[in-house]
Amino acid sequence: MLVLGIETSCDETAVGIVQEAGTGEARIRANVVATQFEEHKPYGGVVPEIAARAHLDKIDDLVRRALAEAGVTLDDMDAIAATCGPGLIGGVMVGAMTGKALAAVSGKPFVAVNHLEAHALTARLTNDVPFPYLLLLVSGGHTQLLLVEGVGDYTCLGTTLDDAVGECFDKAAKLVGLGYPGGPLVEKAAVGGNPAACDLPRPMMGRAGCDFSFSGLKTAVRLAVMAQPQPLDPTFVADMAASLQHAIAEILADRAGQAFKQLERDGKKPSALVVGGGVAANSAIRSGLTALAATYGVPFVAPPVALCTDNGVMIAWAGLERFRLGLTDGLDFKARPRWPLAEMKER
């Protein structure tokens, strides 16, 4: 079974092709990603209109490159999948329309993929993780703890009350002058810093429930920066990066710990703690979660970094998981700016 997947919901234009031989063995046949880093850099963040136009410019070439990389044609596909939400609507429309057009001309079934579902299912491609599992989804737009019980079967255990964790990394990076995108730059700057140097709050930590909050942390960084002489001393920047990363790693491990406790109370036994989304690339966060999973006696599963950040392979894989259950969609499926995972069951 061969499925092509298209991703255009944020600032990466990406196409992936995944194969599954029916033996449970899955293979990545193509993975091409064009980042829009240069287009958005002057603005310090993603500009939706620029993103949509850049997707439009790049998508045809990426589809051609993915087919060439896999050495296949559209006729070899069993289905065409595309992200149909949630995300920046102009970009989502570009990918969804491209996917539908390819499905129409090739006569192949179309699968409308929820971007969050694709992040949620990636660990099944890379590590064959069985349902149910606990998923911590941490990206630039989302911060959620989910119980994944099957394809399309997601229960949200907790979410952020304000900013997403990736947004907190990105905004804090801007405040200390590290630039965009912030997460990887904070991780790099943190290498030489002292994680105990800056006294930062840990919002929601120790509280009942599994929700998150990051706006107070961002404000604390802003106040600390304002109290410093300008330009900022590189030692301060390194210490702040290390302290912020440490605070976030502690918060995420605490909230995921609450989720384990809640599942225990509900009599549910997850097979693993899985992490997904761009922030999952962070190694301090990964080590905090590895320790937590060990205390609950389950493996910690983190897909390779290139598959944690936005990519077309995860869309192809989610499309394949749906397609083999007979879940396909009409070409009238509308792109959605908002599409919570909890609404997947009512699709």
Residues that bind ligand KG4 (CB under 6 A): 10, 139-141, 166, 169-170, 181-184, 187, 277-279, 281-282, 309-310
Q: How many residues bind Zn ion (CB under 5 A)?
A: 2
The option from Zn ion, ligand KG4, none interacting with 282 (CB < 5 to 8 A, set by class) reads ligand KG4
Q: Residue 270 binds which one of Zn ion, ligand KG4, none, with CB within 5 to 8 A depending on kind?
A: none
Q: Tell me how far CA of residue 15 lies from CA of 7, 76, 104, 310, in angstroms.
A: 6, 16, 18, 10
The CA dihedral of 295, 297, 303, 305, to the nearest 10 degrees, is 20
Nearer to Zn ion, 85 or 109 (CB): 85
Answer with the entry of ligand KG4, Zn ion, none that 281 interacts with (C-beta below 5 to 8 A by kind).
Answer: ligand KG4
Minimum distance, C-beta of residue 280 to Zn ion, in the bound complex (Å): 10
- Give the Cα separation of 245 and 227 in Å (integer): 20
What is the smallest separation between the CB atom of 11 and ligand KG4, expressed in angstroms? 8
- Based on CB atoms, which residue is closest to Zn ion, 163 or 254? 163
Q: How far is the CB of 113 from ligand KG4 (least distance, A)?
A: 13
169 binds, among ligand KG4, Zn ion, none (CB under 5 to 8 A by kind): ligand KG4
Residues 282 to 311: which contact Zn ion by CB under 5 A? 310
Nearer Cβ to Zn ion (114/139)? 139
Q: Minimum distance from CB of 14 to ligand KG4 (Å)?
A: 10
Alpha carbon distance 282, 276 (integer Å): 11
d(CA 47, CA 284): 29
Burial level of 16, CB count in 10 A (0-12/13-18/19+)? buried
CB of 276 to ligand KG4, least distance (A): 8
Quote the tokens at residue 182: 């912030």
CA distance 145 to 252: 10
- State how beta strands 153-159 and 143-150 pair: antiparallel
The CB-based long-range contact list for 305-308 (8 Å cut-off, 24+ gap) reads 305/280, 305/281, 306/31, 306/33, 307/122, 307/125, 307/126, 308/119, 308/122, 308/275, 308/276, 308/277, 308/278, 308/280, 308/281
| CB 41, min distance to ligand KG4, A | 13
The overall longest dimension of the chain from CA atoms, in Å, is 64
- Residue 166 C-beta: closest distance to ligand KG4, Å: 3
What is the rounded distance in angstroms from the CA atom of residue 132 to the CA atom of residue 153? 10
Check residue 7 for interaction with Zn ion (CB under 5 A). no
Judged by beta carbon, residue 176 or residue 281, the one nearer ligand KG4 is 281
Q: Does 321 interact with Zn ion (rule: CB under 5 A)?
A: no
Q: Phi and psi of 308, rounded to 5°?
A: -85, -40
Q: Which of residues 125-184 bind Zn ion (CB under 5 A)?
A: 139
Give contact residues for Zn ion (rule: CB under 5 A). Answer: 139, 310
